[in-house]
Every structure is written in C-alpha cells, then in structure tokens.
Amino acid sequence: MKGKSREATDPAPDDGELVQRAKGGDAAALDLLLDRHQGVVYRFLLGLLGDEDAAADAAQETFVRALTNLNGFRGDAAFRTWILAIARNEARGMARRKSRRRESALDDLPPPVAGGPSPETRALRNVEVQRVRDTLARLPEKQRMSVSLRLFDGLSFREIAEATDSTEGSARVNYHHGIRRLREWLHDDQRT
C-alpha cells in the first residue's frame, strides 16, 4: 500500500533520469523526452529559419542526432540547453547548405518567396493568430528569439542567453524591446 501511494505521488522524472533510461533503450523515456522538448526545439528553429517546413526538418535532424548521441550528454548543462545547442548547429548547417545550393545550381532561379504556410493553410488558421505570428516574424532575430523562448517556453534569461549565444542582460533587454515593439505594431496594425 505504502509503495502504491508513493508511486501515485511521485513527481515526473527529471530529464537527467530520462536520459539515463533512454541510454538503456527505454522507449517510454525517449517518448517523454520528445514530448517535453519537441515544442521548444521546433519554435527555436522556426525563429532562426523563419520557415515552418525547414524548422520541422531541422528539428527532426536535431532529435535524431541528439537521441543517437546521448552518451555525449554529460549532464553539465540542462538537457534543454544541450539540445538547443545541437539545434543551433543544425540551423547553421542548413543555412550553409541552402546558400551553397543557391550559389551553384539555382543561380538562374528567382529567390523563394518568404517562407511560411500555404495560402490555404493561412486561410484555415485563426486570422488573429496569424496576425500575431506574422508580426512576431518581423522582429529582429535576437528580439524574436528572446520573446519566443521566454513567452512561449518560459525559459529563464540565462537559458535564453546560452541558447542564443548572448548575455543574460542582452536577453532581458531584447525580450522587453521585442514585446514593446510587438505591442506597438499590433496596435498600429489594428488601427489601419
């Protein structure tokens, strides 16, 4: 009985424990790690790449790379910090590959239209939601990343600084400037 009640009140396992279990081939632990971090990794990459398909692709690569190299996670930093660092490398690699491809084979083609969902998808989405996303996408990268990581995923300014290769102070300033600008733009947009 005692064991049962303890089991019922046990807090969710932390990431370190899940990583240890996943290293031993525990599929449920992998599932939980994915559930916990797929959102933040996807949004982080969306902020960097600005395109939903590219972000989903890069997020998939990030997870495959991370989960097949769990031995490389030493636990010095949080799992989230570690996987966001892998995501950032993935985004850089993707941007490099894209620019090489553009330079070589696609020189004659016009540059792609700004990324994002198709017009059909946009129509199906709530207009207000789309308006906020479009406005957020217009923010400068550092502000956009700080707002997204802080507001959508509740990261501390220190975690944001680690993920975006900046300082804690810059992350705070970028967040507040980003929010202020977002409010102004949405307000102006509403009036016109």
Partner 1 sequence: MTTNGHNGMNETNQPSSDGTPCGDALDQLPLRIAGRLAAREARALEEHLSRCAGCAAEVEFLEAVVRARPEPPRAFKTSVLGRLRIDDSGVTEAVPARWKWLANRWDGSQRRAAGWGLSAAALLVLALGIGVVWSEDPVADGDTQFTSALLAPEDEMVEEWMVAGAPVLDGLPDEVLLSLMTEMD
Contact set with partner 1 (CB under 8 A): 22-25, 27, 30-31, 34-35, 38-39, 42-43, 46, 52, 56, 59-61, 63-64, 67-68, 70-71, 128-130, 132-133, 136, 147, 150-154, 157, 172, 176, 179-180, 182-184, 186-187, 190
Please state, in angstroms and rounded to a whole number, the distance separating the CA atoms of residues 187 and 190.
5
Please state, in angstroms and rounded to a whole number, the distance separating the CA atoms of residues 12 and 30.
14
Please state, in angstroms and rounded to a whole number, the distance separating the CA atoms of residues 30 and 93.
25
Nearer of residues 1 and 27 to partner 1, judged by Cβ: 27
User: What sign has the CA pseudo-torsion 144, 146, 147, 152?
Assistant: positive
Nearer of residues 1 and 114 to partner 1, judged by Cβ: 114
User: Shortest distance, CB of residue 43 to partner 1, whole angstroms?
Assistant: 6
Nearer of residues 3 and 97 to partner 1, judged by Cβ: 97
**Which amino acid, 116?**
G
